[in-house]
Amino acid sequence: MTLAFAASVGEPVGVSFSALGTSASLLVAAPQALEHGRSLLEDELAAIDLSCSRFRADSELARLNRAQGRPMRISALFAEALDVALEAARDTDGDVDPTCGAALIELGYDRDFAELARNGARAGAGPAVTARAVPGWRKVELDRSRNLARVPSGLVLDLGATAKALAADRAAARIHDAVGCSVLVNLGGDIAVAGQAPQGGWRVRVIDDEKAAGPVPQQAVAIAVGGLATSSTSVRAWRRGSQDVHHIISPATGRSAEPYWLTATVAGASCVAANTASTAAIVRGPRAVAWLERLGMPARLVRPDGTVTYTGPWPRPAATTGNGS
């Protein structure tokens, strides 16, 4: 059923709440669409959590990880999410790999991050992390025609690099189809839009370091279609023994990617495309610039010292020329 809400004149209205271990925000162009839109967003997030969460024993992902190598019939949603994760791995030559679950657990990321942050002493315990490659996405078997999946015994899937972005894309499209006005969904920095954007586009602030004390550099940009995603080495970060670690894994080592970039923000045809590229940029470090340029993807890459590099048609500040600032 489609509820036709004509977009009202004036500022869009929105709502924010906690979900998926982060913040969820919804903006709609028609105020009277907000309540129904929120209900649809909550429904979509509940479904993706039940399918893809690594932190609840009843999720399909958790059950597949426990299947000890046996094939398992899965829902259409989980099959889509797993397919998206494998496509991200193919598109990045394995730099965004869903088989990094065991590496994350070894780092101490073995529960929802909000709980991890509250229990910092436990997160900081333990020996130094051993470097070893993750099992690799090619070991994952998926039959979309029959919704069957299999992973080898001992392999631990984690869809954190793509499932939240997929949820943003799905929710934005579903809400727009239902209410008929333009929509923006933001899940902890994974942003998807649907419908004709407000005049001038949806205005989004890109912040260099959310954990920094005091004022931090930021840039306002407009997004009209597709998605925008930011990956960071500072937001989901903690101590493991004597090491500073974060949640973005380099599949070649099974350890946190070297923090060459503090943040990587990328615009794409969808939130999944943007998130895949921003995550891969963190993993690739300095190699990300040429890769993003070849793809023609707009990106804003920030070094720990505040140096900013732009790629593609990302809007440069007036005083900036070339790639650096």
CA distance 146 to 127: 43
Crossing angle of helices 163-179 and 76-91, rounded to 10°? 120
* In contact, 223 and 183? CB cutoff 8 Å: no
Q: What is the mean pLDDT of the chain?
A: 88
Q: Across residues 50-70, what is the average pLDDT? A: 97
Tell whether the torsion through CA atoms of 207, 292, 187 and 282 is positive or negative. negative
pLDDT at 320: 47
- Mean of the pLDDT values across residues 277-297? 98
| Residue 322 confidence (pLDDT) | 45
pTM: 0.89
Give the mean pLDDT of 159-164: 95
Q: What is the pLDDT of residue 3?
A: 40
Statement: residue 6 has pLDDT above 70: no
Identify the structural domains of the chain with CATH numbers, from first to last: 10-54+160-188 (no CATH), 200-312 (3.10.520.10)
Confidence category of residue 213, pLDDT binned at 50, 70, 90: very low
> What secondary structure does DSSP assign to 76-130, as a single string?
HHHHHHHHHHHHHHHHTTTSS-TT-HHHHHHHT--S-HHHHHHTHHHHH-SPPPP
Lowest model confidence (mean pLDDT) among 69-83, 204-218, 227-241, 245-259: 204-218
Structure token pair of residue 98: 């869903």
Q: Residue 241 — pLDDT band, cuts 50, 70, 90? A: low
pLDDT band at 1 (very low <50, low <70, confident <90, very high): very low
Give the confidence band of 297 by pLDDT, cuts at 50, 70, 90: very high
